[in-house]
Amino acid sequence: MNLKRSNDRYLAGVCGGLAEQFGVSPFLMRVLYAAVSFITFVLPGLIVYIVLWNTMEKPDE
């Protein structure tokens, strides 16, 4: 699996890239990611986001 960040982005394109990979709406992915982050008291979600941001390939220009 080759994960790439998306050009459809608000911050780094992580949720947009995940949405493209799994074939769902970027809006739905952002809502689900935010919900899971709040349920886990924000810090784990923030750490995972930063790790994904640094490991995912840059989007095609």
Structure token pair of residue 35: 């919900």
Q: Give the pair of three-digit tokens for residue 13.
A: 């394109």
Instruction: Report whether pLDDT(61) > 70.
Output: no
Residue 1: the pLDDT is 67
Instruction: Kindly report, residue by residue over 1-60, the tens digit of the pLDDT.
Output: 678 888 878 888 899 999 999 999 999 999 999 999 999 998 999 999 999 999 998 887
- Evaluate whether 13 touches 7 at the Cβ level (below 8 Å): yes
The model's pTM is 0.83
